[in-house]
Amino acid sequence: MVFSSETFLFLFLPLFLVAYYLTPDRLRSWTILIGSYIFYCWWRADFLLLFIAVTAWAYGCGLLIAKWEGEARAKTTMVIGIIGCLIVLGIFKYLNFFMDSFAALIGTTPENLGYHWQLILPIGVSFYVFHAIGYIVDVFRKDTPATRSFVDFAAFMALFPHMIAGPVLRFRDLTDQFIKREHSLPIFTSGLYIFTIGLSKKVLIADTVAPIADQTFAMANPTMVESWLGAIAYMLQLYFDFSGYSDMAIGLALMMGFRFKQNFNTPYLSLSITEFWQRWHISLSTWLRDYLYIPLGGNRKGSARTYVNLFLVMLLGGLWHGAAWTYVLWGAWHGAWLACERYTGWARNVPSRAIALPVTLVLVLIGWVMFRAANVGDAFTVYGGMIGLNGITPSIEFLANVTRENLLFLVLAIFAVFAEPYFKKLTDAENGIEAHGFSVSPNGTAVAIPSLAYPIAMSLLLVVTVARLSEQSVSPFLYFQF
């Protein structure tokens, strides 16, 4: 089940919210847990057992670490806990990739090695494994106390707004909210508005520019115009798809009183790759920084080690996105530029915006081509097209499969990227209530402003989005594959 589906919008979500608000406060974690497990089982019920096992493993490790605080076995438990989580991720996400790569390296096939099966990737495994690891490490570091409530911890892990495709959350950021959080009509309405904005970004923009990217990356020899249009379309599709999903997650959580931090902050207006990763998928960037970059030594062990750490973290970040060489090379591309910017001081002494912005956008765009391509060869085919090796003008085949509507929304998406700073408060769960037509009184209580303009506008946006959604046969989120 995905957020951009009629089943979710008109069946699951209404029933869940009714059940949630009819449940007494002290039992709402149970409602969240049961509802989220039903949400997960809509895809496959058997992998729910794996999810529960990882949850129980992290919970148990946390209790033991707290029990043995200050002793050597606490650190041993943390290491064992992390290894256990990584084994799950390694088997289900990377075993096929490593076996295929090993077989190719020695000139044979997995079948000849006696490896005949292809494991199914459990949906959301990359995210919930990171949630589990983060909790185990935080308990060991004393950044959060080990929770005694398995239900609260399991509800955090399973909280359906973020369980499938993020954002990557930390229990320490929500532990107090599980104990006490505010519910009110203005807060619920603000969450609904944020969800509507995210849904419209996904359905109206991402899904409409997607055919341009799909057409380009399916062609054997795309021309210069086709390659650039396809690459730009994917760049925009991915952003509005994933930021739209994050907005929906933030909005859904706010409907339940939870406040998630923003996951995107106008990343395509960055003036360096360093700044880009401070603005793109912020929850993942900070997770990699806190649980990988800093433990590797960060910038505390000399310049050379800093460059290696930056490169290695992004290399692993690329591999986290998917078990394919395209993701490894994408991570290496960003890691190399992060190290280069650190060495040259580009991120600290950026030249004029007129130079830095387009340079950064082009570097990000080049990386997205590798990220999107089915394999490394296809990526270099598009790169060849971008420099004119396959001709210049678009082919009849391309023009026949790309509509004026697709191109119009491509232009609108570009405009939206540059106009976004003026509207980013609309998707901020922590500080954006005033932007949704509410004022905040001195005691912190949200008070409605007597104006119908904003709710009417949001209602129309929701109607248009749902109408468009009903025309589509399927509307999958790109980050579900990771």
Q: Is 387 exposed, middle or buried (0-12, 13-18, 19+ CB in 10 A)?
A: exposed
321 is catalytic: yes
**How does DSSP classify residue 293?**
I
Q: Give the SS3 label for residue 367.
A: helix
Say which amino acid occupies 162: H
Question: What H or E segment, with its residue span, contains residue 314?
Answer: helix 303-321
Q: Comparing C-alpha atoms, which of 252, 243, 264, 197 is closest to residue 426? A: 197
Q: Comparing C-alpha atoms, which of 264, 202, 231, 266 is closest to residue 418? A: 266
Q: Which tokens is 24 given?
A: 């007494």
Q: Comparing C-alpha atoms, which of 34, 84, 33 is closest to residue 54? A: 84
User: How many CA atoms within 13 Å lie on the side-chain side of 261?
Assistant: 16
Say which amino acid occupies 340: C
For the CA atoms of 188, 189, 190, 193, the dihedral, rounded to the nearest 10 degrees, stands at 130
DSSP sequence for 107-167: TS-TTTTT--------TTHHHHHHHHHHHHHHHHHTSSPPPS-HHHHHHHHH-HHHHTT--
d(CA 440, CA 52): 40
Cβ within 8 Å of residue 400, ≥6 positions away: none
Terminal C-alpha separation, the chain: 16
Catalytic option among 281, 321, 334, 436: 321
In Å, how far are 219, 275, 338, 398, 401 from 216, measured between CA atoms? 5, 29, 29, 8, 10
Say which amino acid occupies 429: A
Say which amino acid occupies 244: G
Q: Is 392 exposed, middle or buried (0-12, 13-18, 19+ CB in 10 A)?
A: exposed
d(CA 398, CA 378): 17
Q: Comparing C-alpha atoms, which of 268, 194, 230 is closest to residue 417? A: 268
Which residues are marked as active site? 321
